[in-house]
Amino acid sequence: MMNFMQKDTISKESNEQELCVAIRSNNELILSSLYRNNYFKVERYVIENNGSITEAKDVFQEAFVAVWRNIQMHKFSPLSENDFTAYLYQVSKYKWIDTLRSQQRKVLFIQTDVDGMEDVLLNEHDNKYVSLVRKHFANLGQTCREILVLFYFQNQSLQKIALARKWTEATAKNNKYRCIQQLRSLVKTDSI
């Protein structure tokens, strides 16, 4: 058993080294802090470049989730918070320019220093299926949404999920399978 004596300090990794770990393990405290600390800069950028607050919010949320996803998939590993912030800002700018272009709105005055961001958008444009999953996930029943979030997002074990609901592990496994089938079916119907 750990002995908390007078001085029990555990070796503390630097913030920089821990940032990736925190994001990959879905540390909500850190992620929400990163969201709050970066939103206003992007909001200002979008508003100053022909956009509205609603558009700023949409662009920033899309960018934030894209950056989070890229870190989860090890496509990007920020070495510091500054690294994260710079990348998020670049992705947000790229997404806003893309939005303006797709709506044939004025983009002449925007500095396009966003090279190398194409793949961030490309993945999403090419993958309408993921968007449909996101859309129909909201249409599932509450129990299904909870099971799927606990298992796939929070990485909880079936044993723990079953215990919390007084199910057997086999029931939890079966329910998860049925929820996935239901989601597949909703997405398939929409994409036909």
Partner 1 sequence: MKTENDILPEEFELIENYLMQNLNDQQRSEFEQRLNEDTLLKEKVVELGDLFNGIKQAERFNKVEEWHAGIVMKNETITPVRFINYRMWMVAATILIFCAGVWLVFFSKNKEEQLFAKYYKPDYGLITPMGASDNYAFNKAMIDYKTGKYQLAINEWQQQLAQGQVGDTLYYFIGSSYLALRKYGDAAINFKKAVAIPGSAFTGEANWYLGLSQLQIGHTKDAAESIQKSTHPKKEALLNELRP
Burial (CB < 10 A; 0-12, 13-18, 19+), residue 29, is exposed
69 sits near partner 1 (criterion: CB under 8 A): yes
192 sits near partner 1 (criterion: CB under 8 A): no
Burial 98-111 (b: 16+ CB within 10 A, else e): bbbeeeeeebeebe
30 sits near partner 1 (criterion: CB under 8 A): yes
Q: x/- site string to partner 1, residues 71 to 100, per CB under 8 A?
A: -x----------------------------
Locate all alpha helices (DSSP H) within 103-157, ordered by sequence.
118-126, 128-137, 142-148
Does residue 72 come out as left (phi exceeding 0), alpha (psi in the -120 to 50 range) or beta? alpha
Stretch binding partner 1 (CB under 8 A), from 17-25, 97-105, 106-114, 160-168: 17-25
Tell me how far CA of residue 4 lies from CA of 8, 11, 12, 13, 182, in angstroms. Answer: 5, 14, 16, 19, 50
53 phi, psi to nearest 5 deg: -65, -40
Q: Residue 113 Cβ, how far from partner 1 at the closest point, in Å?
A: 23
DSSP 166: T
CB-based contact 1:22 (threshold 8 Å): no
Stretch binding partner 1 (CB under 8 A), from 82-90, 99-107, 114-122, 179-187: 179-187
Out of 42, 71, 120, 187, which residue is the one contacting partner 1 (CB under 8 A)?
A: 187
Q: x/- site string to partner 1, residues 144 to 173, per CB under 8 A?
A: ----xx--xxx-------------------
Residues that bind partner 1 (CB under 8 A): 1-10, 12-13, 15, 18-19, 21-22, 25-33, 35-37, 39-40, 43-44, 47, 52-53, 57, 61, 64-65, 68-69, 72, 127, 129-134, 137-138, 148-149, 152-154, 174, 177, 180-181, 183-184, 187
